[in-house]
Amino acid sequence: MDSSEDVNLELLTLIWLDNNVNTDKDNVEFQDKFRSSINYLRTFDNCSECEDYIINKINNKQENIILIVSGRLAEQIIHKIHHLKHILAIFIFCFNKDRYESLATQFKKIRRICTGLTTLLNEINDYKKSGLCQINESIEIILNENKLFEFLLEIKRNFLDKRYFLEICSKQYENNFNQIKDFEHFYLSSNALNEFFNQTFLYQLLIKSLHRFNIEMIYFLRFFIQDIYEQTNNLPTISTKSYRGQLMRDDQIDLLKNSIEKSSIRLNTILIAKKNYGEILKALKDCSNGNNYQRVLFEIDMNDIGKEYEQYVIYPITSYFNITSIYYENNIYFIKIIIGNKKNFIKKDFSSIEFAQYLREINNLDQSQKFFELLLKQFPSLNSQCYDGLARIAQDKGLYEISLEYYFKSLDTVSNQLKPFILNNIGCAYDYLEEYDKALKYYSQSLTLMKNTKHQSMSLNNMAIIYAKHEQFNDAFDCFQQSLIIRKKYLPDNHPDIAIIYINLGVIWSSLHQFDDAMKYFNLALKSFSSNHHLDFYRAIIYQNMGDLFLKENQFDQSLKYYQDAFDIFQQIRSIDHPNRSYIQQQIQLIKQQK
């Protein structure tokens, strides 16, 4: 067996099980030809080792597998692995086709029984391009507010991206390097759709990266995304309905049901459909759906978004979907959707650093961290901004000591103009660590260096929080009022930055046991955060403070309600060991014990 355990960046894994796979001359020579079709090839001459690899190793990674197996070993292994969802197709390679026909009748995933290697390779290539393979792609549903793909379309390319991309590919395709050489010398932007629909290695890398949200690969492949988008714009618009078959999990079906005529959704892929309803329906009926997976047929209403390319219909990666109806018949969910496109609002020339910041904004903290680390390697001139971004992510994760390390690194390299903002952030980190004197020191330094009155409100607000924690309420109110006056001068009444001051005023009134005043400010703040999904963190903080307030009043039922509301949000956006989650869980347990 090939012992390499490197990560597969492509959509498909090819496994070949045969006692003579690595000893027969023809088999060995054909391995390179199979790699030209599916790069990630694993060979086994032992049935037990192959079974262990499929069940205990690769299945946990949810890799999509095409299996080649000799006739004799097919009888030993197929019944043990056929039920796995990620076994897409099985091809039996043997010299006596008739002997194994009964297996093909018994097991639906056996696509062909082949007696020649060339025929076998052709059958695998045909299957790859069939609707069955697309139906099994593991797509995910994402919120329509996510603007990730719009941003990707606007980030300029640079020569370093291509160099890093080629370095990654040289490792992934070390046994199949001709593809990379061809790409390096012959790739043309005008040929992007041909590369995509011929399912070259670029297609394999892109779709896998989108499905797994591999942000590094998506970023490096944005040239391909941009080329596909531009070329698609020049295609003729479809004038009829189109159809797409898909296997989807039960929880995804439930999400779609809850979205009917309500919220829009998006898919983490470039949606490909066809005009031939019968072809899609047949492919769905022919596919095997494992546990917790359902067959879905999307009927896409006629629109001016879809573009025709040969027998396919391609929809822009920026498309969103509105579900109009769902019904279930003959073991298939039929889902009618209307498609729209929201590409136009993004500003041109979106920068890489803004993209990293946006990932943090939508709470993709791990991906944002990876991206800042990547930019740190690529662009030394961005060190200060990258360190600041990494510090904020560490702070979001509750890792305040690590956050401080990054902030101080940023402080060493930042311009004088931005230094007050880093000093303010250092104060925040010390605040979280409950080192209030140090926090106040850095807030004061920040305020002194702030040249712009508008920005002074930030340090004033944070100083007020420290004063409140020291029960110096007059100083706290004074700082909050100064901060509020500044923000109201420059911002609309419902702006989140004004709402943050309302939260803090509510906390002070709560500390003074002034229930009505505290609730007044908490509710004012809640109005500003109720309509923006990306500000859920602040809604959770408000609910947490409301829970604290009602607990002080011994109103346990109300307190429990707000703590639970806060916990439901934190559960979605913060790690299990984050201080906010831990605190609320403790409070919920405390109330339940007292009731």
The 41-44 sheet, strands edge to edge: 41-44, 12-17, 64-70, 87-93, 110-114
Q: What is the DSSP letter of 190?
A: G
The arrangement of strands across the sheet holding 307-309 comes to 141-143, 265-267, 319-329, 332-341, 293-300, 242-249, 272-274, 312-314, 307-309
What are the residue ranges spanned by the domains of the chain?
A: 12-128, 151-223, 352-594
Give the pLDDT score at 365. Answer: 93
Q: What per-residue confidence (pLDDT) applies to 166?
A: 92
Q: Could you count the other beta carbons within 10 Å of the beta carbon of residue 118?
A: 10
pLDDT for res 137: 80
Residues 6+ apart with CB under 8 A from 190: 227, 231
Provide the 3-class DSSP secondary structure of residue 319: strand
Q: Quote the CA–CA distance of 553 and 555 in Å, as a whole number.
A: 5
Domain 352-594 - what CATH class? mainly alpha
pLDDT tens per residue across all 595 residues of the chain: 443 456 899 999 999 999 999 999 999 999 999 999 999 999 999 999 999 999 988 766 778 899 999 999 999 999 999 988 889 999 999 999 999 999 989 998 999 999 999 999 999 999 988 877 788 888 888 865 678 888 888 898 888 888 899 999 998 998 888 889 999 999 999 999 999 998 899 999 999 999 988 989 999 999 999 999 999 999 999 888 999 999 999 999 998 998 888 778 888 899 999 999 999 999 898 887 767 789 999 999 988 889 999 989 999 998 888 999 999 999 999 999 998 876 555 556 788 999 999 999 888 899 999 999 999 988 888 999 999 999 999 999 999 999 999 999 999 999 999 999 999 999 999 999 999 999 999 999 999 999 888 899 999 999 999 999 899 999 999 999 999 999 999 998 889 899 999 999 999 999 899 999 999 999 999 988 876 666 888 999 999 999 999 999 999 999 999 999 999 999 888 888 888 889 999 999 989 887 6
Which pLDDT belongs to residue 63? 85
The residue among 580, 585, 582, 595 whose CA lies nearest residue 564 is 585
The pLDDT value given to residue 2: 42
Yes or no: say if 160 and 199 are a contact pair by the CB < 8 Å rule.
no
Instruction: State how far the Cα of 520 lies from the Cα of 534, in Å rounded to an integer.
Output: 23
**In terms of CATH, what superfamily is 12-128?**
Response regulator (3.40.50.2300)
- Amino acid 1: pLDDT: 41
